[in-house]
Structure 1
Amino acid sequence: MTNFVTKESLFELQSITNPVLAPNEQEALFIRTQMNEKENNYNAHLFHIELASGHLTQWTFGNERISSPAWSPNGKLVAFLVKRGEKQQLYLLNSRGGEAQELTTLPNGVNSFLWSPCGEKIWLTTSVKEGLAITDEEEKEDKKFPKAYVVDKMKYKADSLGLLPQNRHAQIAVVELSSKEVTAYTDAPYSHSLQGISHDGKTLVVAVNRVDNTDDVFRTPLYLVDVDTKEEIMLIEEDGYYGDAAFSFDDRYIAFGGSDQTFKNATHGHVYIYDTQSKNRQKLTEMFDVPVGDYAVGDTQQAASAPTVMWTENNDLYFQVSTEGDVRLYYATLEGAIYPASPENEHVYGYAIFKNGNRALMTVSNPTFPGELFDFDITTGERKQLTTFNAEFLANTTLSTPEAIVYPTKDGFTVHGWIMKPANYIAGEKYPLIVEVHGGPHTLYANTFFHEMQLLAAQGYGVLYVNPRGSHGYSQSFVDAVRGDYGGGDYEDIMAGLDYALANYDWIDEARLGLTGGSYGGFMTNWAVGHTTRFKAAVTQRSISNWISFNGVSDIGYYFTEWQMLADMNNVEKLWHHSPLKYAANVETPLLILHSERDFRCPIEQAEQLYITLKRMGKEVAFVRFPESDHNLSRTGIPSLRVERLAQITGWFIKYL
């Protein structure tokens, strides 16, 4: 007899991420992350696998989080970051056994690193206070006499970080393996980041913006830097976000990812190629009308990261593409031919390519499969599952299989989505339906495992989730169509999806409809209950209710509001028109408001305004605050509070549906 998904199933699920091939291509590393119920945190450990035999070995243990594993060029050592407490340091481990050795003890830890191809040193970035050497101990703050924080810029805080350290910049340094000596490479009062290194070790790709005030600067130029002379060649200096550079095996070409500012943060991601011989740069995917990269939302994978692009020894390339609910691996040539390399209906959230380009390691999930590591033959399509960490959960748990749906909009778009039957579905019975709305808005629901959806289905609800205009994974015109029109066509897309579901699935009880979503999905929940009475219960999470105040209180508010609403404080009429708070008097749906107290992205005052307004009007409303939590509570938050959040959601729907 199998069980249904519960809130506590979060502790059973194991996240398998970050596959990294060894130079010999006969072994690999990956990370397994679990929620630790006893310590109420996350443990991420390093695992090793022999590809031929499939033999697995756990390499790290303890109450810690491992990230960014990387083999030395000769494969004899492995470097990785270890986070214990607030700081993370760089560690080394012999690939043939032994204890991990701490390589750095920097006051502010290590942000990132890259192996030097010589294998005798490692490049890294660390945060340094102006006027101090990179290895100096910074003065300790006396908590008895806290200092005032003098704000002189608009970019002075960030979600998950809080108030940003002042007069501190990320600098590049190099550490010698033999002596553990750390030597500064940059020291100018600007933040630097490592984006790539050539195979001959002579050239770095460095990102640095040499302006004193970046409040209205949305670019980080990339430079090719000669390691010895520090001479620079500009790689790109356009507005937008660019980085994660990879040199071809012959060092002639440099591939990197990025998106310009044509449609602000709604712009598709692309792959760029720079030819070091001709000095020409091209946008390889310019004619490709879906975004390069993984834009899928979910709540199961932890700290999953993948290369933006990987080269083969024949100078072909591989990268991820978000397309119509899938995240697939794609293959491209320098001539611009682009083809899908992995199957449909799944989420490839990590990958490593063999040098010949015919084979890949991939971490893959789908709506009824939390994710594991696979060995994939790209030429034949055959794959071998290498790990089975979630096998017991799958064998003992009844899941609901989402059904893909497609429907037209009034103005010519096509919307994709999914509908799930209750996990205990019996033909002929009627069931309530809950509509979920994703955040962003420039993300997408995908063919990936989503614990929250499965939990709702296990509770006896149908679940509808769609990708309305504004979602990534579709055309540039589709993702841009939401800007300046929040609550317009996007709201109609969602309601059209509901109408489609009601017309095509007779098991839905139209009198018991629920609605929930977070961030942009929270905005849409607030908007919907102010514009329709069709929903009998709603839960809004980390939401926006008032664009006028959001403009000033969010860490991104002053520019995000302009980018997304196409209006600023000189046009408060438009901001107020698109603010759900304006329509509070229309709300008849019982509304539960969930919000994190340390959310700097959508600050809790957005929830406070909505709650007090509705409460004062005599509406059916409740408010739950989550301490020590930021905007990412539902995905990476404190485990006990993630469980409590799910309890609040399901409890509200049980009460009213």
Structure 2
Amino acid sequence: MSKYNTMDIWKAGIYMTKRKLIATDLFKLHSITNPVLAPSGKEAVFIRTIMHELDNKYYTYLHHVNLETKAVSQWTYTKEIISCPQWSNDGKSIAFLSNREEKNQLFLMSSDGGEAKKLTDLENGVSSFVWSPCSEKIWISALLKEGKTWSEKADKKEIKLPEVYVVDQMKYHMDGTGLLPKDTYKQIGWIDLNTEEIVPFKVGNYHYNLETISHDGKKLVIGVNREENQDFSFREPLLLVDVETKVETVIVDEEGYFGGVAFSKDDQYLAFVGSPCTFQNATHSEVYIYELGTGIRQSLTEGIDAPVGDYVAADFQQGGRAPSVVWTESNHLYFQLSTMGDVRLYFASLEGELYPATGEYEHVYGYDVDASGIFALVTISTSIFPGELFCQNLATGERTALTNFNETFIKDVELVEPEVVVYKGAKDWDVYGWLMKPVGYEEGQKYPLVVEIHGGPHTMYANTFSHEFQLLAAEGYGVLYVNPRGSHGYSQAFVDAVRGDYGGGDYEDIMAGLEYVVKENDWIDETRLGVTGGSYGGFMTNWIVGHTNRFKAAVTQRSISNWVSFYGVSDVGYYLTPWQIGADMTDIDKLWNASPLKYAANIDTPLLILHSENDYRCPIEQGQQLYITLKAMGKETSFVRFPEASHNLSRTGLPNLRIERLKQITGWFKKYI
């Protein structure tokens, strides 16, 4: 346990001669996530993730904390990725998913200690699971080939010849997965822990998603879309299923996302998070309540003009999975809300009470709440605090630090706390952001500035730790990062305003922020400016250098350069393009006018193009087109391809490639700025 009683370890008088942060400090950081309370409320488990430099892999370890003594102990030591730890209802066992044998399989560990036991050996692994309240069986969902049973084992000695892949639907590939398996469906069953036999429950040629089970064990909630053609279907109806009769009751069936379901402790209500398609993928998520006795459904958060959930764009936390909602015994609820650059834990009652349970200027990226509602476990990060686990009294707000894994890093490394900036953007709307001074800043000196642009566009920069931003500051740059229109956390009108206006008001917001900080801060050398961003941020970087020569160097990452080709090659292109740009292939002119490639002749800024070879979201041809076009025009450019990397290179890519990416960015700015 840390000797400090608050998260402000960096304020605890432990200043020494500190060094500058470097790219490989990623290997010294610990990501603390997934706190899960035991039914007794007296103990909990959580996950610690590290990047291993020599093995070039991520490893996670299950840890236990005794909440009475505050003692923390490590429970697993195998080199693996662990996820989704869950306690049995009797508190005697922990189940979790592990990839220690490549595919995610279900493992069981006694809460008294000892080695974990593998419960499944399925060809495609286990997708998700939930304990039965009796603690004698576990419900699972797993991919199953049509015509196969879970008892059939794959012949590992069989020589598999390459097979053609016949495409007959539009949703056939996915970033991070590749080609989706053919004739394979997610099915639901349960494991008898006495016999370890898997009993099928929901099978057939549909994907069944397992949501939750009632506390009496009599009702399941599942998600399934049984439409024959789902190319333009963006729904997954939630169904309440009687375990004994299998009779189904529809909870919600409409376009949009609905999930994260939880039963109230008395099984009278369901709570879940959902976002209809009112503004397509820019629609705010809300907390919904469904009363089982009456079938009445209502939004609990419709009075809040901010999205439920965590929409932070950052590069450090690994594998964090926070629950959508958590009930207490008093039928009160807790959930995350992204608002004004924070992610805060919120309280709600069925009578309409609604207020924040945690403070401002921080990122609550994980949590669990005791059934009594007296305290919560929270994992928290700030701009100069990578993140640890805390116990918070929900009545007083008092916190106790339970872990201190990153204490040495904080003691050793000089970090820069950004200042909040607020200025007027397009349409005279307020735009919020942050400005970091370079490490070693001295009054009266001039310094270069790098503008960072997040992806999405419907995510947000936040009061959270960013290794990349701190690295740029350590390299001697000021860093400006803002939330232009399209960003979450401010209002529904604000997040929706970018749709149909890419390169319009969003571009004005970013450039207005630059001009504002240049005017207000005489330390910024406006002749030495850089800009970078990924995904939507890559699109905007491309757009910026095609519309202004304000920047001396630029780095575009996993970008979009051509909406015409993006429509057909991206895993989401055929529907995201009309959602975001407002046109499809029947209006080529509109797509081309919104494409940065059209303005390549105007680009005079030296442009580094970074792209992952296995990026299915913004395929590498987007970077290729831009590079070849610029090179043919004699422009200053370079193209770096990252093998074995997907769209999420900067967050979950191979460790050596993440380090190389940072070196490429800082090297380009050093060369041209």
Same fold (TM over 0.5): yes
Equivalent-residue separation in structure 1 for 2:541 and 2:100 (angstroms): 38
User: Is the partner of 1:155 in helix, strand or coil?
Assistant: coil
Q: Which residue of 2 aligns with 1:436?
A: 452
Q: Is 2:506 aligned against 1:484?
A: no
The CA deviation string for residues 599-655 of structure 1, in whole angstroms up to 9 with x for no partner, is 000000000000000000000000000000000000000000000000000000000
Corresponding residue for residue 11 of structure 2 = none
1:568 corresponds in structure 2 to 584
CA distance in 1, matches of 2:586, 2:154: 43
Which among 623, 641, 647 is matched to residue 631 of structure 1? 647
**Of residues 343, 346, 356 in structure 2, which corresponds to 1:330?**
346
Secondary structure in 2 matching 1:180: coil
Aligned amino acid, residue 545 of structure 1: S
Q: Which residue, 85, 94, 97 being the options, matches 1:81?
A: 97
Q: Deviations over 1:277-311 (max 9, x none)?
A: 12100011112110000000111100111010111
Q: Who is 2:54 aligned against?
A: 38
**Does the 8 A contact of 1:372 with 1:385 survive in 2?**
yes
Count of paired positions: 657
- Tell me if structure 2 keeps the 8 A contact 1:219–1:239: yes
- Give the superposition deviation at 1:555: 0.3
1:208 equivalent among 201, 210, 224: 224
Q: How far apart are residue 76 of structure 1 and its match? A: 0.5
Match of 2:272 in 1: 256
State the distance in 2 between where 1:410 and 1:469 align.
9
Q: Residue 173 of structure 1 aligns with which residue?
A: 189
Aligned equivalents of 2:590, 2:99: Cα separation in 1: 45
2:412 to 388, 396, 400: 396
> Aligned partners of 2:614, 2:277: CA distance in 1, in Å?
29
Which amino acid in 1 is paired with 2:179? L
Question: Kindly tell me: are residues 144 and 327 of structure 1, through their superposed partners in 2, closer, same or farther at Cα, counting changes over 3 Å?
Answer: closer
Runs of 4+ in 1 over 4 A off after TM superposition: 138-144
Q: Which amino acid aligns with 1:249?
A: K
Partner of 2:6: none
Cα deviation, residue 141, structure 1: 9.9
Conserved? CA contact 2:32–2:48, under 8 Å: yes
Aligned to 1:611: 627
1:289 is aligned to 2:305: yes
Deviation of the 1:133 alpha carbon: 1.0
CA distance in 2, matches of 1:336, 1:540: 46
Distance 2:632 2:565 in 1: 20
Instruction: Give distance in 1, aligned partners of 2:424 and 2:372.
Output: 42
Q: Select the residue among 41, 45, 52 that pairs with 1:25.
A: 41
Q: How far apart in 2 are the matches of 1:320 and 1:379?
A: 18
Q: Deviations over 1:130-167 (max 9, x none)?
A: 01112212467976631110111110000010000000
Task: Please report how far the alpha carbon of residue 218 of structure 1 lies from its aligned counterpart in structure 2 after TM superposition.
Answer: 0.1
Matched residue type, 1:348: V
Give the superposition deviation at 1:84.
Answer: 2.4
Query: What's 1:146 paired with?
Result: 162
Deviates more, 1:102-111 or 1:437-446: 102-111
The one-letter code of the counterpart of 1:171 is: Q
1:308–1:410 distance in 2 versus 1, CA, 3 Å: same
Is contact 1:132–1:138 with CA below 8 Å preserved after alignment? no
Counterpart in the other structure of 1:519: 535
Deviation at 1:85, TM superposition (A): 5.1
Q: Say if 2:108 is the partner of 1:92.
A: yes
Give the drift of 1:198.
0.5
In the alignment, what sits opposite 1:107? 123
Counterpart of 2:516? 500
Q: Which moved more, 1:407-416 or 1:156-165?
A: 407-416
Q: Matches of 1:71 and 1:139 in 2, distance apart?
A: 33
Q: Is this contact kept in 2: 1:107–1:135, CA < 8 A?
A: no
Gap runs ≥5 in structure 2: 1-16
Question: Per-residue deviation at 1:188?
Answer: 1.5
Pair 1:539-2:555 in alignment:
yes
SS in 2 for 1:123: strand
User: Secondary structure of the equivalent of 1:264?
Assistant: strand
1:358 CA drift (Å): 2.5
8 Å CA contact 1:438–1:520 kept in 2: the answer is yes
- How far does residue 63 in structure 1 lie from its aligned partner after superposition? 1.3
**Residues 251, 295 of structure 2: 8 Å contact kept:** no
Q: Cα RMSD between the aligned structures?
A: 1.0
Q: What residue is the counterpart of 1:359 in the other structure?
A: 375
CA drift at 1:41: 0.4
Cα distance in 2, alignment partners of residues 86 and 599 from structure 1: 22
Secondary structure at the residue paired with 1:356? coil
Counterparts of 1:594 and 1:248, CA distance in 2: 47
Partner secondary structure for residue 376 of structure 1? strand
Change (3 A) 1:144 1:125: closer
Instruction: Give secondary structure in 1 for the equivalent of 2:96.
Output: strand
* CA offset digits 1:382-438 (Å, max 9, x no partner): 101110000000000001111111111241321110000001111111000000000
Matches of 2:372 and 2:150, distance apart in 1: 41
Which whole-Å deviations, capped at 9, do the CAs of 1:251-285 have from their partners, x for residues lacking one? 00000011000000000010000001121000111
Question: Which residue does 2:12 correspond to in 1?
Answer: none
1:382 maps to which of 389, 393, 398: 398
Aligned to 1:61: 77
Q: Normalising to structure 2: TM-score of the pair?
A: 0.97
* CA pair 306-21 structure 1, distance change in 2 beyond 3 A: same
Distance 1:325 1:141 in 2: 53
CA distance in 2, matches of 1:324, 1:85: 42
Q: Distance in 2 between matches of 1:376 and 1:72?
A: 24
What is the one-letter code of the residue matched to 2:482?
V
What is the TM-score normalised by the length of structure 1? Answer: 0.99
Asked if structure 1 preserves the Cα contact closer than 8 Å seen for 2:485 and 2:497, the reply is yes
User: 208, 214, 226: which one pairs with 1:198?
Assistant: 214
Match in the other structure for 2:295: 279
Provide the secondary structure at the position in 2 that maps to 1:263: strand
1:498 maps to amino acid = L
The 3-state SS of whatever aligns with 2:513 is helix
Structure 1 residues without counterparts, runs of 5 or longer: none
Q: Deviations over 1:448-467 (max 9, x none)?
A: 00000000000000000000
SS in 1 for 2:544: helix
Deviation at 1:108, TM superposition (A): 1.1
One-letter amino acid of the counterpart of residue 207, structure 1:
G
